[in-house]
Amino acid sequence: MRKINEIFYSLQGEGRFTGTAATFIRFSGCNLKCDFCDTTHEDGRMMTDEEIIAEALKHPTRHVVLTGGEPSLWIDEAFVALLKEKGFYVQIETNGTHALPSNIDWVTFSPKKNWTLTKSNELKIVYQEQDLSEWKDFDCQFKYLQPCSCSNTEKVVDYIKEHPEWKLSVQLHKLIQIP
């Protein structure tokens, strides 16, 4: 059983897959509780793997995003394997504080604190004017900076213009008002 906050169908609004139709499996609970998080962690219901997959199969896309909260608290290789057996491309959005199953297709790492992850497909940092020098040599394909709830976009743009190894990731879903 896994605690699910919600399962919904929309467009990915952040990072490399912005604009991609995806089924989002949002898990409840997180070990960090960031003040800008968009998940109500107390909400959710326990679901079996079969119930989760049946819900995901209702949508025409086979791109699934495991998000939260912190999905690594709830998933394992067997769950990811079940998704892949049904033809899903599995993306995870993680704070990087727990080990991940090795069979995930795409890792979006959004560090806050106490991370252990040492590589990912994309690094996505919510920018709050913190020092980013520690990420200079991080092992990833793409580096994104994201304004904090669209409140400091100008500062993010200015930073990227000075440090072009970063790309802008906006929360497109919030800008166009979709889930």
User: Which residues form the catalytic set?
Assistant: 24, 30, 34, 37-39, 93, 173
Write the CA distances from 13 to 9, 30, 96, integer angstroms.
12, 21, 20
> Phi then psi for 7, rounded to 5 degrees?
-125, 125
Copy the structure tokens of residue 43: 């909400």
Q: Provide DSSP, 62-99.
A: -EEEEESS-GGGT--HHHHHHHHHTT-EEEEEE-S-S-
Strand 21-27 vs strand 2-11: parallel, antiparallel, or unpaired?
Answer: antiparallel
User: Length of the chain, please?
Assistant: 179
14/20 Cα distance (integer angstroms): 10
